[in-house]
A and B are shown apart, each in its own frame.
Chain A
Amino acid sequence: MNDTLSKIEKRTAYTLLLPAVFLVFAIVLFPIFANIWISFKEVQLKDIRIPEPRAKKIVKSIPEDKTKLKIVYKLRNSSLIEDINNIKFSDNLPRNIEPVDLDSRCEFKSKKIKCDFGNWEAKYRESFEIVIQNINNDVIDKNTIKSQKPKLSGDADNILLTTKFTLKNFKQVFNESEFLDLLLTTFYFTFFGTVGAIIFGMFAAQLVNQKFYGRTFMRSILLFPYVGPVVALAYTWTLLLDPNSGTLNALLVNFGIIDKPINLLGQKYMTLNLLGFDIKLRLALTTVIMFEIWRYFPLAFLFILARLQAVPKDLYEAAEVDGAGPLRKFINITLPQITAILSILFMIRFIWNFNKFEDIFLLTGGASGTRTLPINVYQQGFAVSNIGMGSAVSIIIVMLLIIFMIIYFKLIGKRANEI
């Protein structure tokens, strides 16, 4: 009895889960594994279309004879690297019209021209001509001939499904002299973006945790940067920071703080003189990190605020009785209460910032020293059009992520489920 019940329960569970699990498998897990496959292949963006035989039909009239027309089919193999085999061609002709001197590869049967073109190698091109005539010696209407589209079919290998593999992509990724720089930029961006967002979030949470007039209003607007669409916000920031007509530069110049506008998003380095030391600052990267902090500190704020509100009030009252000031209270009560959440936040935000693509892409497009690993995936895959390279970089991201996740689950995995 119990046995059948648990069987029914199992079956129900699997039925309920199946659609969701299937979808996630198909759209999330499958691509991660497909990346491995693609990264060992030499694939360009233009190759991912399956090679097709194509024909462009041009109809020409013959001046000497109105009852005849010449049809030219510009035939070609759409692929530059793959052959197409066993190509079949067919085109319909209207009634009473038939071809004159048909090519030996073709035959005319029941108003249809059918051809067997055999194999075309890559880049194959041919101008294939047919002359047609009207049996009743009437004038042929050009447009009815034109409106018929020829049909072509052929067998071709899908380059993604062949078993030709190469290590070229990975060699190229690692041999690139900029790879180390790429990795450093990514970590720089991730680390400072995460730490900055957490510090700002902590201040904001501490602030909103007090009672003051307009507190609920403050709490809602603090979340605006995260809730707003990244496209709109990134473009607003680009306008704000624009060197020629941006508000920020105009203000700074107006008040005499800087002499001439600084291209905050387009300048790779800026030399700062601090206490006699010349410091070379990654300017564009710093600006992008600022945007990142601005946009994501609300999440840290939310998390930390939720934790702060759960700190028992009598702890503070007891501290007050003991004569502790605000600073002591913060260091000795608040900080220990939120260290756990801060470490979890750090790990989670670190992983997410590491994956961040849109923000940098919209602000700088990866130029002026802001190219991180995710940006590189896009640039390799779609700007350079080398899908295989893009996949190889994706694999590197996935590998690093797995390492981060192992660290995450080793350190705080069990506690993560409690929050």
Chain B
Amino acid sequence: MRYKPLLIYLFISSIFLTLVGSIWKIMGTLQGLKLTEINFNINFLLALLLSLSLVFIGKRINHLIKIIVLPLIFTFIYIAINESAPIWYNVGILLISLFFTNRVKNYNLNYLKEDFVSEKIVFDFLSLFAIVFFAFIILFPFYLMFVTSFKLQAALLYNPLDLSIDFTKNISEQFKSYLVIFKTYDFGRYIFTSSIVSIGTVIITLIFAIPAAYAVARLNFFGKTFLSTSILIIYMFPAIVLVIPLYTVFSQLGLRNSIEGLLIVYTATTLPVAIYMLQGYFKSIPKEIEDAGLMDGQNWFGIIIKIIIPLSLPAIASVALYVFMIAWNEFLFSLMFLDNPKSFTLSRAINHLTGDAETPRQYLMAGSVVVTLPILLIFVYFEKYLVSGLTAGSVKG
């Protein structure tokens, strides 16, 4: 009998179960439950007991019985030694232990004698835990943003742990912060401005980038290599070093507080990456197709419109979505160039809200949901295109 795999299994599986249980406890606390003890040590011992009995019972009794009986016992002991909590919380504990037992149902003393079994176990539980961990740390801020927009400032100051939403309120009361930001803070106008700026940037960028990318991909001219390397280099220069000269020039030209000014700047800063992404795709289109077009007497305009654009729609969609995302999320230039609330974009408007310390945080978070939700929905819906755009454009950040 080799003890090392057994010990590693016991340790890592119990740690896993206890950690997941603790995360569940934190979630419970955030729903307003009065739980103040993590009880990590005792719960760890309990989990150890479960793991131990699982591996020693092994195949001696039916899987199904094992999977059902052991978690039930586990849950009852857990309820006994932890603080009292409502039914739904304990059902959660039962489900977690069910999941756990199901996961390790094939582990028994014989299995633990296989080659590299300890490494496999470690990797198994590590990746399981990583799934929970990543999902938790990524989704939690979004969850907080969403939930806070439905809470009252006073309730949160009184008990910052109670994030539960009161579903008994009527609709207009429930969505009050959203009504307020649209009515009092004029968010409808900001959504409109943001959309105009983002869509405008996409259209102008494509109009400028497609011909340029075609020239870089297909035509021979003096300075071609120089141009294609400078595209990448220019792209590396950050907005912050452009801000002061642009601010002074825009002030003198009266372009501040105007949508045109933003459009010009956004287009110019996204053009390099758009050209870079498009020319890579254009190069992959077989040249013979264009030659056929040339035979038909098309000029370059006809070739781009009738051949290149229809063939590279996926790449154009990627670029469009990527540019849209950048323009929608952009903050620095809108902070610098806009100080009249009439011309604010959404990001700038939220920043403006925080300038007043009196603004209740549910309004701030409602505004944040309003600016975040569209871009997340677009991302989920067009994930394929946006991911390829991101991968190509991820030199930027």
Most chain B beta-carbon neighbours within 10 Å: one of A229, A237, A240: A229
Q: Which residues of B contact A250 (CB under 8 A)?
A: 160-161
Interface-side segment among A9-17, A98-106, A144-152: A9-17
Interface 1/0s, chain A 251-295, versus B by CB < 8 A? 100111000000000000000000000000000000000000010
- Contact: A222 with B134, CB < 8 Å? yes
| Interface check A303, CB cutoff 8 A | yes
- Contact: A245 with B156, CB < 8 Å? yes
Q: Which residues of B contact A394 (CB under 8 A)?
A: 240-241, 244
- Contact: A229 with B372, CB < 8 Å? yes
- Contact: B271 with A24, CB < 8 Å? yes
CB closest residue in chain A, given B216: A17
Partner of A35, one of B116, B122, B244: B244
Partner of B331, one of A296, A306, A348, A358: A358
Q: Which residues of A contact B115 (CB under 8 A)?
A: 323, 325
| Interface check B214, CB cutoff 8 A | yes
How many angstroms between the C-alpha atoms of A29 and B235 in the bound complex?
A: 11
**A residues 278-327 in Cβ contact with B at 8 Å:** 294, 296, 299, 302-303, 306, 323, 325-327
**B residues 343-397 in Cβ contact with A at 8 Å:** 346-347, 350-351, 354, 361, 364-365, 367-369, 371-372, 375-376, 379-380, 383, 386-387, 390-391, 394-397
How many angstroms between the C-alpha atoms of A220 and B135 in the bound complex?
A: 11
| Known contacts A31-B246, A35-B244, A394-B241, A207 near B160 by CB under 8 Å | no
| Interface check B329, CB cutoff 8 A | yes
- Contact: A245 with B138, CB < 8 Å? no
- How many A-B pairs have beta carbons closer than 8 Å: the answer is 299
Q: Which residues of B contact A254 (CB under 8 A)?
A: 29, 35-36, 161
| Known contacts A220-B380, A227-B325, A17 near B240 by CB under 8 Å | no
- Contact: A48 with B251, CB < 8 Å? yes
| Known contacts A228-B142, A247-B30, A302-B387, A23 near B264 by CB under 8 Å | yes
Interface 1/0s, chain A 80-95, versus B by CB < 8 A? 0000000000000000
Q: Which residues of B contact A411 (CB under 8 A)?
A: none
How many angstroms between the C-alpha atoms of A48 and B138 in the bound complex?
A: 44
Q: Which residues of B contact A206 (CB under 8 A)?
A: 127
Interface-side segment among A71-79, A332-340, A373-381: A373-381
| Known contacts A24-B272, A232-B350, A232-B371, A207 near B123 by CB under 8 Å | no
Chain A's nearest CB lies how many Å from the CB of B276? 10
Q: Which residues of B contact A31 (CB under 8 A)?
A: 241-246, 249
How many angstroms between the C-alpha atoms of A34 and B135 in the bound complex?
A: 46
- Contact: B233 with A405, CB < 8 Å? yes
How many angstroms between the C-alpha atoms of A351 and B265 in the bound complex?
A: 21
Partner of A12, one of B215, B252, B346: B215
| Known contacts A231-B371, A294-B137, A296-B397, A251 near B161 by CB under 8 Å | yes
How many angstroms between the C-alpha atoms of A231 and B372 in the bound complex?
A: 9
Chain A's nearest CB lies how many Å from the CB of B383? 6
Q: Which residues of A contact B106 (CB under 8 A)?
A: none
Most chain A beta-carbon neighbours within 10 Å: one of B30, B122, B237, B325: B237
- Contact: B220 with A13, CB < 8 Å? yes
Interface 1/0s, chain A 221-257, versus B by CB < 8 A? 1111111111111011101100011110111001110
| Interface check A390, CB cutoff 8 A | yes
Partner of A27, one of B264, B275, B331: B264
| Interface check B61, CB cutoff 8 A | no
| Known contacts A245-B160, A357-B240, A405-B233, A24 near B268 by CB under 8 Å | yes
| Known contacts A223-B390, A231-B350, A235-B364, A30 near B300 by CB under 8 Å | no
| Interface check A174, CB cutoff 8 A | no
* Contact residues on A (Cβ < 8 Å of other chain), bracket: 35 or more
| Interface check B38, CB cutoff 8 A | yes
| Interface check A391, CB cutoff 8 A | yes
Q: Which residues of A contact B361 (CB under 8 A)?
A: 239
- Contact: B252 with A158, CB < 8 Å? yes
- Contact: A229 with B375, CB < 8 Å? yes
Chain B's nearest CB lies how many Å from the CB of A117? 24
- Contact: A221 with B135, CB < 8 Å? yes
- Contact: A38 with B245, CB < 8 Å? yes
| Interface check B49, CB cutoff 8 A | no
Chain A's nearest CB lies how many Å from the CB of B377? 10
Partner of A207, one of B134, B395, B396: B134
Chain B's nearest CB lies how many Å from the CB of A17? 5
**A residues 358-406 in Cβ contact with B at 8 Å:** 358, 362, 374, 377-378, 381-382, 387, 390-391, 394, 397-398, 401, 405
Q: Which residues of B contact A351 (CB under 8 A)?
A: 236
CB closest residue in chain B, given A43: B248
- Contact: B120 with A325, CB < 8 Å? yes
Partner of B391, one of A240, A303, A325: A303
Q: Which residues of A contact B90 (CB under 8 A)?
A: none
- Contact: A235 with B354, CB < 8 Å? yes
| Interface check B65, CB cutoff 8 A | no
Partner of B141, one of A32, A214, A233, A362: A233
- Contact: B144 with A240, CB < 8 Å? yes
| Interface check A407, CB cutoff 8 A | no
| Interface check B148, CB cutoff 8 A | yes
How many angstroms between the C-alpha atoms of A210 and B123 in the bound complex?
A: 11
| Interface check A19, CB cutoff 8 A | yes
- Contact: B275 with A20, CB < 8 Å? yes
| Interface check A218, CB cutoff 8 A | yes
Chain A's nearest CB lies how many Å from the CB of B366? 11
- Contact: B268 with A23, CB < 8 Å? yes
| Interface check A203, CB cutoff 8 A | yes
| Interface check B315, CB cutoff 8 A | no
How many angstroms between the C-alpha atoms of A292 and B73 in the bound complex?
A: 44
How many angstroms between the C-alpha atoms of A212 and B219 in the bound complex?
A: 47
- Contact: B234 with A35, CB < 8 Å? no
Partner of A221, one of B127, B138, B247, B367: B138
With A10-B219, A323-B115 given, name 20 new contacts (CB 8 A).
Answer: A10-B222, A12-B215, A13-B221, A20-B209, A24-B272, A28-B272, A38-B244, A204-B130, A210-B127, A214-B131, A221-B138, A228-B329, A232-B145, A233-B141, A233-B368, A236-B144, A251-B26, A325-B115, A397-B238, A405-B233
Instruction: Across the A-B interface, give the 10 residue pairs with the lowest CB-CB distance, nearest first.
Output: A355-B238, A27-B268, A232-B368, A325-B116, A34-B245, A31-B245, A20-B212, A16-B211, A13-B221, A13-B219
Please list 12 pairs of residues, one from A and one from B, whose beta carbons are closer than 8 Å in the complex, sorted by A's number.
A9-B221, A16-B300, A23-B208, A206-B127, A220-B379, A227-B325, A229-B371, A230-B329, A232-B350, A236-B144, A254-B36, A299-B397
Q: Identify the A interface with B (CB < 8 A).
A: 6, 9-10, 12-14, 16-17, 19-21, 23-24, 26-32, 34-35, 38, 43, 48-50, 158, 160, 203-204, 206-207, 210, 212, 214, 218, 220-233, 235-237, 239-240, 244-247, 249-251, 254-256, 294, 296, 299, 302-303, 306, 323, 325-327, 348-349, 351-353, 355-358, 362, 374, 377-378, 381-382, 387, 390-391, 394, 397-398, 401, 405, 416
